[in-house]
Structure 1
């Protein structure tokens, strides 16, 4: 019953989250909360499925004994594969292991691919680049106006010659702050996590929508930080003058221009502590429900087993 409850929760989250969050007007004014909800929904849905499979394969009493008990129960289920009462447990264990492996491999592969691309991209830029207007900036001799960042240690902000020609000094400072906001906020990791879920679960609409939305929302976050320092209209004007494309695994100030310009030309709404608290509470529920449900099932099973042993001893 607990496994069915967890599977129902995962299904509900996967169906409801895109409808409740995707492209909603409030996400434009609270991008940080929206990102937290998307990531919380991804972790909650997959965590519930993993927990459901684990509960089918491993008796709840084994969960209460720690890692040793879980491993022993898993080995026992695999050893008795084919027995009438053990087939379901073995299949559930195999499905859980496959899902966990896909998530792990996808995350590692996504991070490795992005890191390798950035390293090669920097090497390719080296012959045609020169120091920029700031320590962390590199100017590339290219006519297309682009400004983008390459996360790493240290991070780099790449500015093309076309961008220097197209932007005013105030606009250039605004887009540099935008890119530094990406670097400070580790926005590339947020995008990479969403991309890893999509890579591991390509048929899940929740994963596909979450990646697209998080890519959009991190740009809103960086726009807000640049706009707070240099003015929203200055940031909007700079976005219009930059090209719409950003290479590879970089994050750039010129992407999704129309939506961002419309947003920046609208006065920033006042902060809403109530909305922030509500968002944090929903994220907490998303993350805690699979854990709390699994822990409760294990606790009930241990209690029942203890009561059963006590009753047997008393009768003896």
Structure 2
């Protein structure tokens, strides 16, 4: 098999995927804006190349010689279609044959309100219109985010506002998202397909917080709020509402619109999806939410 390009290789997802591919004896081209952060992958034989999806110049050269690309979605909501479009064009120009893209669960269900989802829909459409084979990995909510970004503030304050209500979401470990990405990149027959990347259980977020509270031995009061109440909570901690209002000096590096509409999409059932794609493609059962909580429990406030 030819060389596999991994974008965002200095991020957690990209680094883990590149590392696993190297473990399997694959030739890897690791793309990053910060090559100095990938000395460990370089020592193991990866070709580390500088690449910035904001700068189309030189992107095709950075992808030269690659057969497949793992396109990990960037973090800037609203900017991603432009950034991903630059990457897709460069990959096509470089002769890449297959692009595997990390998308979002439930994203193509009509009426999904998630503004984060709009970026993923736009990117999926760019790939469908391109001259390259694609695979969409529609990842659910990360268990690791629930175990850290949700659990730690909730344990610290003893409460958590939540606009996802009683909606269900198949919370998935990032480990399983990486595993299915590596499998798709190294197996045959996944061209022009979409997979729902989910954990083994559907969770209501208040029940997930109840499990955190039980395991930590500390109470968490979940306050079910409407979308405006959720916006007011994020306003109070200093988050801007719209991604276009973000500046380098903004204390919180994300906009609340993405978080609030994500919760709305769960509440309205857009992520209530059961799938066996992880086990079917990787050959392993996906991790439970409790196992991820056990992994991160040491970081919780005592």
- TM-score, normalisation: structure 2: 0.23
- Structure ID, larger Rg: 1
Larger strand percent = 2
Larger helix percent = 1
- TM-score, normalisation: structure 1: 0.22
Which structure has more RCO (C-alpha within 8 Å, separation ≥ 6)?
Answer: 1
